[in-house]
Amino acid sequence: MYYGEKFNALTHLVGAVLALAGTVVLIVLAALDGDPWKVVSVSIYGTTLTLLYSFSTLYHSLRGRGKNILRKLDHHSIYLLIAGSYTPFCLVTLRGPWGWSLFGVVWGLAALGSLQELRPKSGARILSVVIYVAMGWAALVALVPLVHALGPAGFA
């Protein structure tokens, strides 16, 4: 393993540990607030963040045949983290029809992206980019209700 891979593995390991610790803190704070939707949403977000850093740590740490599998898991976890990042906004901030619709679309795109990662790479890179961009811009569909629900403090 060359220096860059060691550095990537180490920094991503730090990220995994911090993500796990942060997830515990978020779950405790959400539980103290008493809103089960907050507990569920931060659990999903924290799990996807921890998975991303964990798979990335393993991917940058290992050699051989297993590295290809870990690369795929690393790429799958990117889709999961994007959807996981939307989850608190969908289930807590919007929660109603807008929230559930956006939740379904984003998690559906994450599933589609994960499935397409299983295909051979000929031309699949373009589809990955399209799905990433669609996931990133999906919030624009619900921008007005999101701005209304968050208020000015949500954008400060």
More confident residue, 12 or 66: 12
Q: Which amino acid is at 71?
A: R
- Say how far apart CA 64 and CA 21 lie, in whole Å: 31
Give the pLDDT of residue 77. 96
**Structure tokens belonging to residue 62:** 């290992």
- Say how far apart CA 54 and CA 81 lie, in whole Å: 12
At residue 118, φ and ψ (nearest 5 deg) are -80, -20
Question: What does R_g of the chain's alpha carbons equal in angstroms?
Answer: 17
Please report which confidence band the pLDDT of residue 2 belongs to, taking 50, 70 and 90 as the band edges.
low
- Say how far apart CA 15 and CA 46 lie, in whole Å: 12
pTM of the model: 0.91
CA 33 to chain centre: 23
pLDDT digits (tens, 9 = 90+) for 107-148: 999 999 999 888 776 566 788 899 999 999 999 999 999 999
Task: Say if CB 146 and CB 106 are below 8 A apart.
Answer: no
Containing structural domain, residue 121: 3-155
Nearest-CA neighbor of 135 among 77, 78, 83, 81?
Answer: 83
Q: How many domains does the chain have?
A: 1
pLDDT digits (tens, 9 = 90+) for 67-114: 888 888 999 999 999 999 999 999 999 999 999 999 999 999 999 999
